[in-house]
Chains A and B, each alone.
Chain A
Amino acid sequence: MKQRIRDRFEELKVAGKTALVPFITAGDPNLKTTARILEELDHSGADVIELGIPFSDPMADGPTIQASSERALKNGVNIKDVLGLVKDFRKKSEVPVVLFGYYNPIFSYGCKRFADAAKRAGADGVLVVDLPPEESAELKRELDRVGMDLVVLMTPTSSAGRMRQISKGASGFVYYVSVAGVTGARKTLKHDIKDAVKTARKVSRLPVSVGFGISTPAQAGAVAGFSDGVVVGSAIINIIAKNVDGRGRPAKDLTEKVGRFVRGLKRAIS
């Protein structure tokens, strides 16, 4: 079975590099544009792509990704559409894709049906924000069955003991949430991330990607110094938000602008 996530992090490790992990919401501003942005992310140096499944009540997200979800839901985007994007992307690219979302849409679709369809489409992993290990048995079982990773979250509130508990059965990579709070670009990041990432690595024996609040090439560069991956979401979504009109139509150079920004991030972490 193909393990794109594991293989990608291993390649990067050998090369002494850090993964660039951009996040976008599927269907923001529309499915066609997302398809184009996905390709652009690939060409701009994305190592893993996090593709958001929009949800009506994104409790862990700040205003930027909330608005992004709303734009996508206005288009009626659902799981079937998201997986359609992955399927088309997979025809052109081998960049690993992690589906990122909340539990209810997945639960409503059915864990088994979701795992089968996601695997068929060519997705590699799933990250569910509101599904701690205590509740994830059903989805985990189905993802294990089809050979997909359930990416786990660790946070500034996670003790080493809790990290160990979270790590049990974890695969792919660990997503380290750099701040206690919601998603969104921040001017400064706390400096105590470094030790936590070290612990997360040691405890999980998995690559650790850091996200939440990383918005500039300089921040990305700094985090790349002590992590295996850098996740950038809201800063990219901000570019999308600024380049759609009131009716949700994208500006002609939207994709190009996203690409330019992502290439800047790539240079900063290389």
Chain B
Amino acid sequence: MAKKSYRKVPDKGGHFGEYGGRYISETLMPAVMELEEAYKKFKNDAKFKAEFAKYLSHYVGRPTPLYFAEHLTKSAGGAKIYLKREDLCHTGAHKVNNTIGQILLARRMGKKRIIAETGAGQHGVATATVAALFGLKCEIYMGTEDIERQKPNVFRMKLLGAKVNPVSSGSSTLKDAMNEALRDWVTNVADTFYIIGSVAGPHPYPMMVRDFQAVIGKEVRRQSIKEFGKLPDMLVACVGGGSNAMGLFHPFVKDTKVKMVGVEAAGYGIKTGKHAASICGGRVGVLHGSKSYLLQDKDGQIMHTHSVSAGLDYPGVGPEHSFLYDEGRADYVGITDKEALKAFELLCETEGIIPALESSHAIAYGVKAARKLGRGKVIVINLSGRGDKDLGTVSDILGYKI
């Protein structure tokens, strides 16, 4: 029996239990309220829904396949592993599901300028892509360290007509890019729409991004019934901010028999302190507009994080994940850089699929879990993105020159 509380989140103020909310400067309050109103108005609007569906199908290429990874399954030796192929989305990751939704909203709100933050560059590319599609001005904030390790995506954004603003404050990664995007928004709030790339930020973003990404889980439900006649026994997805995981989990939250596991980046290992696993290794705090688990020091200063994957290298996590964790509805585990790299190679070799380093974390855990669950069970792993963008990082680590 599903707990009633699962259905009600977030509340009016955007709270998932004690998490979420709106911890932002007063200047931005009217903007997020305006956004919330617009989202409420359009999310059930037939025309909006039809347009969203049209772009997801004809532009993004949905539905993405639910692929039975036979060889990976064999190599794991246990439960059947299916991959939800978000890597086959236009632009190479699930991020575009959300940017399509938000830019359609931005157009209806009459906003002329788009800004976004990006870590791995996937959300930046997905934002630049839809801005190009609809002819809107676009600026992307990206940490200088991420610019270095995700060069192909930087060039992609430039080709798509976006201006990439390097951010060198703090740790020069995703959290600092988000700080800078918020500073831009507060300065240009009248004509600017901020497309947040994860289920993070102030309300309504965590809810809105979840809803746009929920297309992943909805498809998996349908495809599961068709493929193997039941719902999967377990869902596995990587969690940085947590949008691909939330998108997969959301339509299953009430099906308590379906186990859900979010995989965080354990970097060099949780014990080393050099990781990005907010739920596994952090405590509750407030950053970037919401209350959630957070990597912070004893004084409440935000810690520098580490992960081989830029997209997971973030000290916070979406508030709904903190909620699902506290409620015991989802489990959160850590996978180290090393384990993720092994999984990266394993998927290349067994299935001929080069996964993103982010998604490799989910693969690594999925393979372990498959062994434990055993035959007769089914695991769906969200393959949230493809790995072309990571070839530089991986070749450096493996000692190849490209």
Considering only CB atoms, which chain A residue lies closest to B304 in the complex?
Answer: A56
Does A106 sit at the interface, judged by CB under 8 A?
Answer: yes
B106 proximity list for chain A (CB < 8 A)? none
Contact A60 B30 (CB under 8 A): no
A177 proximity list for chain B (CB < 8 A)? 25-27
Does A103 sit at the interface, judged by CB under 8 A?
Answer: yes
Does A218 sit at the interface, judged by CB under 8 A?
Answer: no
Q: Known contacts A180-B186, A180-B187: does B23 contact A56 (CB below 8 Å)?
A: no
Q: Which of B285, B286, B288 has the most CB of A within 10 A?
A: B286
Q: List the count of A-B residue pairs having beta carbons below 8 Å apart.
A: 110
Does A181 sit at the interface, judged by CB under 8 A?
Answer: yes
B175 proximity list for chain A (CB < 8 A)? 57
Does B225 sit at the interface, judged by CB under 8 A?
Answer: no
A169 proximity list for chain B (CB < 8 A)? none
Which of B23, B169, B183, B285 interacts with A182 by CB under 8 Å? B183
The complex places the Cα of A153 from the Cα of B30 at a distance, in Å, of 13
In A236-266, the 8 Å CB interface with B consists of none
Which of A79, A105, A106, A158 interacts with B26 by CB under 8 Å? A158
Shortest distance between the CB of B122 and any CB in chain A (Å): 23
Q: Known contacts A104-B285, A135-B21, A180-B187: does B27 contact A109 (CB below 8 Å)?
A: no
Considering only CB atoms, which chain B residue lies closest to A177 in the complex?
Answer: B27
Does A154 sit at the interface, judged by CB under 8 A?
Answer: yes
Contact stretch, chosen from A125-133, A142-150, A191-199: A125-133
Q: Known contacts A59-B25, A159-B30: does B287 contact A104 (CB below 8 Å)?
A: yes
Contact B22 A103 (CB under 8 A): no
The complex places the Cα of A60 from the Cα of B190 at a distance, in Å, of 17
Which of B29, B183, B189 interacts with A162 by CB under 8 Å? B29
The complex places the Cα of A103 from the Cα of B302 at a distance, in Å, of 12
Contact B22 A105 (CB under 8 A): no
Q: Known contacts A104-B286, A180-B189: does B24 contact A157 (CB below 8 Å)?
A: no
Q: Which of A55, A59, A104 has the most CB of B within 10 A?
A: A59
A156-195 contact mask (Cβ, 8 Å, vs B): 1 or 0: 1111001000100000000001001110000000000000
Does A223 sit at the interface, judged by CB under 8 A?
Answer: no
Contact A66 B300 (CB under 8 A): no
Shortest distance between the CB of B24 and any CB in chain A (Å): 6
In B169-220, the 8 Å CB interface with A consists of 169-170, 175-176, 179, 182-183, 186-190
Shortest distance between the CB of A259 and any CB in chain B (Å): 30
Considering only CB atoms, which chain B residue lies closest to A128 in the complex?
Answer: B23
The complex places the Cα of A106 from the Cα of B296 at a distance, in Å, of 13
Q: How many residues of A contact B (CB 8 A)?
A: 38
The complex places the Cα of A73 from the Cα of B29 at a distance, in Å, of 29
Considering only CB atoms, which chain A residue lies closest to B22 in the complex?
Answer: A134
Q: Known contacts A104-B294, A129-B25: does B301 contact A56 (CB below 8 Å)?
A: yes
Contact A57 B286 (CB under 8 A): no
Contact A57 B179 (CB under 8 A): yes
Contact A79 B299 (CB under 8 A): yes
Does A30 sit at the interface, judged by CB under 8 A?
Answer: no
The complex places the Cα of A107 from the Cα of B302 at a distance, in Å, of 13
Contact B26 A155 (CB under 8 A): yes
Q: Known contacts A59-B183, A180-B190: does B285 contact A130 (CB below 8 Å)?
A: no
Considering only CB atoms, which chain A residue lies closest to B32 in the complex?
Answer: A132
Does B324 sit at the interface, judged by CB under 8 A?
Answer: no
Considering only CB atoms, which chain A residue lies closest to B181 in the complex?
Answer: A59
Shortest distance between the CB of B191 and any CB in chain A (Å): 11
Which of B22, B28, B187, B296 interacts with A108 by CB under 8 Å? B296
A131 proximity list for chain B (CB < 8 A)? 23
B182 proximity list for chain A (CB < 8 A)? 59
Considering only CB atoms, which chain B residue lies closest to A78 in the complex?
Answer: B299
B294 proximity list for chain A (CB < 8 A)? 104
Contact A57 B300 (CB under 8 A): no
In A41-57, the 8 Å CB interface with B consists of 55-57
Contact A130 B24 (CB under 8 A): yes
Contact A182 B300 (CB under 8 A): no
B296 proximity list for chain A (CB < 8 A)? 104, 108
Shortest distance between the CB of A117 and any CB in chain B (Å): 14
Contact B29 A157 (CB under 8 A): yes
Q: Give me the 6 closest cross-chain CB pairs, A-B, nearest first.
A: A108-B300, A105-B300, A181-B187, A78-B299, A56-B301, A155-B27
Q: A79-B299, A177-B25 are in contact. List 17 more A-B contacts (CB 8 A).
A: A57-B179, A59-B179, A59-B183, A60-B25, A73-B301, A104-B301, A104-B302, A105-B299, A108-B285, A108-B298, A135-B22, A156-B27, A157-B27, A162-B29, A177-B26, A180-B190, A181-B187
Task: Name 27 interchain pairs, CB-CB below 8 A, sorted by A.
Answer: A55-B300, A56-B170, A57-B175, A57-B287, A57-B302, A59-B182, A59-B186, A59-B288, A60-B183, A62-B183, A66-B169, A73-B301, A104-B286, A104-B287, A104-B300, A106-B300, A109-B300, A129-B25, A130-B286, A132-B29, A134-B29, A153-B26, A158-B30, A162-B30, A180-B187, A181-B27, A182-B183
Report which B residues bind A (CB closer than 8 A). 13, 21-31, 169-170, 175-176, 179, 182-183, 186-190, 285-289, 294, 296, 298-302
